[in-house]
Structure 1
Amino acid sequence: MTQPLWSKSQNNAGSALLGKITNFMSGHDVISDRDLLLYDIQASKVHAEGLMKIGVLSEQELSQINEALSLLSQEFASGTFVLDERFEDCHSAIEWYLTHKLGETGKKIHTGRSRNDQVSTATRLYCRDALLRLQKQSIAIADTCLELAQKYEFVVLPGYTHLQRAVVSSWGMWFAAFAESFVDNATQAKDTHDLINSNPLGTAAGYGVNLKLDRDYTTQALSFNRKQVNPIYAQNSRGKIELQVLSNFKNALLDVRRLSWDLSLFSTAEYGFVDVGDHFSTGSSIMPNKHNPDAVELMRASYSQLVGAYNELESLLSLPSGYQRDLQNTKGALLRGVQSATQCLDLLPELLQSLTINTSRCEAAIDASMFATDKAVELVINEGMAFRDAYRHIKHNYDELQDRQAADSIKARVSPGACGDLLLVEISDRLKALKSEL
Structure 2
Amino acid sequence: MLTLEMIQDAQAALRGIARRTPLDPASKIADNLYIKAENLQLTGAFKIRGAYNKIRSLTPGEAAKGVIASSAGNHAQGIALSATKLGIKSIICMPAGAPISKVEATKKYGAEVVLVPGVFDDAAREAARLSAEHGYTFAHPFNDDYVMAGQGTIGLEILEQLPEVEQVVCPIGGGGLISGIAFAIKSLKPECKVIGVQAATVPSMYESRKNGHVTTVPDGDTLADGIHVLTPGDKTFEMCQKYVDEIVTVSEDEIAAAILALMEGQKTVAEGAGATTVAACMFGKVDISSKKTVCVVSGGNVDVTTLSRIITKGLTKSGRIAEISTKVVDKPGSLIQVLQVVSDCGANILSVNHEREDKDSDVGACIVSMVLETRNQEHVDQIKAAMASKGYSLLEK
Scaled by the length of structure 1, the TM-score of the pair is 0.20
Rg: which structure is higher?
A: 1
TM-score by length of 2: 0.22
